Structure 1
Amino acid sequence: MNLNLRNAIIHNVSGNTKDELKDTIVDAIQNGEEKMLPGLGVLFEVIWKNSSEQDQQEMLQTLESGLK
């Protein structure tokens, strides 16, 4: 069986409201389970691909600051 994890994750959250997406993200972070990391990565990929260069730079600044 050839399972495309990225497509499965996107399918599972497609059509969700902002509140539902926030709940998904917050739950994944609060649970701290390793199995949730791929899903968060896919969501970040969607955000990154749909962000302007300025927004990407702001995310990178936030990430850099958070890792210090």
Structure 2
Amino acid sequence: MDINIRKAVIHNVSDNDQAQLRDTIVDAIQRGEEKLLPGLGVLFEVIWQHADEQEKSNMLETLEQGLKH
């Protein structure tokens, strides 16, 4: 069985508005379930691919600071 996680995640949220996307992200983080991590990774990948260099720099700075805590 060949499951394409990227396509499945994108299909499941492609019609969601910002509030629904936020709820999806917050819910996945709050649950803390390992099985939800790939989906969050796909969402991050979409964000990264559509970010300009300044946004990427900001994300990396935020990530770096978050990892130091």
Taking structure 1 as the reference length, the TM-score comes to 0.97
Matched residues, number? 68
Q: Which residue of 2 aligns with 1:59?
A: 59
Give the percent of matched residue pairs that are identical in Structure 1 and Structure 2: 66
Distance 2:66 2:3 in 1: 34
RMSD: 0.5
Taking structure 2 as the reference length, the TM-score comes to 0.96
Higher relative contact order (CA 8 A, sep 6+): 2
State how 1:1-68 maps to structure 2 within 5 Å.
1-68=1-68
Q: Which runs of 5+ in 2 are unaligned?
A: none
Distance 1:29 1:3 in 2: 23
List structure 1 segments (4+ residues) > 6 angstroms apart after TM superposition: none
Distance 2:31 2:52 in 1: 30
- Following superposition, the deviation at residue 57 of structure 1 comes to 0.3
Q: Which runs of 5+ in 1 are unaligned?
A: none
